Amino acid sequence: MYKAEKSVQMTFEDFNQSCGMKLNVRDEWIVVANNIDWAAVEEKYMAFFPSKRGRPAVSARMALGALIIQHKAKLSDRNLVKEVARNPYYQYFIGLESYQTKCPFGHGVLPELRKRFGMDFINKINEVVVKSAKPTPEHVDEKEEKPSANGNLGTMILDATCSPSNIRFPQDFSLLNEAREKLDGMIDKLHSMVEEPRRPRTYRKVLRKAYLAMAKAKRRPAKKMRSLVRVMLCAVKRNMDFVDAYLAKGLFLVDKRDVCNLDAIRKLYIQQKEMFDEKKHRVADRIVSITQPFVRPIVRGKAKTPVEFGAKYDVSVDENGHARLEKASFDAYNECTVLKDVVERYRERTGHYPKRVLVDQVYRTKENRTYCEERGIEMSGRKPGRPPEDGKKRRKAEQEERRNDVDRIEVERFFSRDKRCFGAGLITTKLSDTTLGSIALAVLVANLFGAGLSFFVFYFVDAPDGQTSFDLVEVQDDAA
């Protein structure tokens, strides 16, 4: 059940505080709260509650505002509740009418809100925010660009990155030991349901000692590592047989997490056994985390982290400096296949194709170049073939290439802010849907708190008759 809130938005003068204090209108939370179309957010949010019965749900502004605060301030669930209770700006942002010393929601509600706010819903909210937002100051001059002869106008920048999940670095012997320990816990739970006096022997102490000896060793010779992996494979197989024997007697695992972990362990054992027997280190859909089996290794080729473990996604930045999440997946897909869909979605939004498409070398395939040439779109990068023999034409082409490379840095700047400031640098959620939702929410928060926030300030004017009046002006503050 959901009860719609009043449509009249409260102003910062109406927000009551103790001791007659007033909020600072220049604060970024006041600015962002006044720039969001909460009525449009609530209209989309009500689709989650078709029933008219039951307890009323948390309001749309409170639910989305709490998640935005959490991403912006990088708070845990419990710390978010504490900070909302002591910060009047946070309380204004989530829609409270006056300051109160208690948070209106508990930390147990936040996991359910993250499940409700999936990637698709956040992308819809991001589109609402982008449509009502103004271009950032560094992109105002782009609006004066003249369209090309075929009517194309604007610039679209596209690039891909990866947001790593909060998992331990996967090593074969470590994953197998974790699987063995989880199977030991399942055996204990299943054995407590029967009247058998003796528990199956699993050698947990011996195996734990062998694992710690290798984990603490400064050097790990290949022979010793392979020997330990063989022992762990035998231990996991033996424990799985014990669990299957209990399940064959009609017993069942009560905890849903144990059921999911057992399925992941079965797949992990098959993969590790295949790699051990064939003496290889690669396998399709390799599991790198038992609790998050959907996470895949993404080869990035970076100097700092050649391989990252998380979700890969594409982000486009338009001529106004606004970002959109175009695609997100845990599989290591080839990002060059995304360009056509992104360009077509740009045409659906604006009614015309972009004049320039700024991408890196991965997107500049022959198929994508042909696609852009047929539509009169200029793709960044050096064109195939020999450079022009005419010196003026060659210098002009080099200048255009340099300009496109400089403009393309905008998407790298966005990734830097998105990961350093807005929570995309390390995803701490545990489910696949909430992980993708967190990435989409980080893009939304980056759009809301980007540079060049515009807001209104009241200033007082002394009239000739001795009375004081006020006027309203718009101010740009890049430091906000």
Q: 239 and 191, same structural domain?
A: yes
What per-residue confidence (pLDDT) applies to 474?
A: 45
Q: 328 and 266, same structural domain?
A: no
Strands 307-317 and 323-329, sheet pairing: antiparallel
Residue 140 included in any domain: yes
Residue 477 included in any domain: no
CB distance 377 to 353 below 8 Å: yes
Q: φ, ψ for residue 63 (rounded to 5)? A: -65, -50
Q: 331 and 260, same structural domain?
A: no
Q: 93 and 80, same structural domain?
A: yes
Residue 396 included in any domain: yes
Q: 434 and 329, same structural domain?
A: yes
What per-residue confidence (pLDDT) applies to 391?
A: 78
Q: 423 and 344, same structural domain?
A: yes
CB distance 405 to 380 below 8 Å: yes
What per-residue confidence (pLDDT) applies to 456?
A: 36
Residue 101 included in any domain: yes
Q: 268 and 219, same structural domain?
A: yes
Q: What is the pLDDT along the chain (480 residues), one digit of tens a residue?
A: 667 666 555 565 566 655 566 788 888 999 899 888 888 888 888 888 887 778 888 889 999 999 999 999 999 999 999 999 999 999 999 999 888 889 999 999 999 999 989 999 999 999 988 887 766 655 545 456 777 777 889 999 999 999 999 999 999 999 999 999 999 999 999 999 988 888 999 999 999 999 999 999 999 999 999 999 999 999 999 999 999 999 999 998 989 999 999 999 999 999 999 999 999 989 999 999 999 999 999 988 777 788 999 999 999 999 888 999 999 999 989 999 999 999 999 999 999 999 999 999 999 999 999 999 999 999 988 887 777 778 788 888 888 888 988 999 999 999 999 999 998 999 999 999 999 999 999 999 999 987 533 333 333 344 444 444 444 444 444 433
Q: 430 and 322, same structural domain?
A: yes
User: Which class for 14: exposed (0-12), middle (13-18), buried (19 or more C-beta within 10 A)?
Assistant: exposed
The neighbouring-strand residues paired with 299 are 307
> Domain limits at 33?
18-117
Spatial CB neighbours of 258, under 8 Å, sequence gap ≥ 6: 182, 185, 186, 189
The structural domain count of the chain equals 3
Q: Is 85 left (phi over 0), alpha (psi -120 to 50) or beta?
A: alpha
Q: Which of 278, 293, 328 delimits the end of a domain?
A: 278
What per-residue confidence (pLDDT) applies to 11?
A: 60
Q: Which of 84, 117, 150 delimits the end of a domain?
A: 117
Domain CATH for 403: 3.30.420.10
Q: 441 and 322, same structural domain?
A: yes
Cα(479)–Cα(250) distance, integer angstroms = 65
Residue 267 included in any domain: yes
Q: 274 and 246, same structural domain?
A: yes
Q: 352 and 437, same structural domain?
A: yes
Cα(358)–Cα(335) distance, integer angstroms = 14
What per-residue confidence (pLDDT) applies to 1?
A: 64
Residue 443 included in any domain: yes
What per-residue confidence (pLDDT) applies to 120?
A: 93
Burial 316-347 (b: 16+ CB within 10 A, else e): bbbbbbbbbbbbbebeeeebbebbeebbeebe
**Residue ranges of E strands in 106-175:** 155-164
Residue 460 included in any domain: no
Q: 54 and 22, same structural domain?
A: yes
CA diameter of the chain? 97
Residue 368 included in any domain: yes
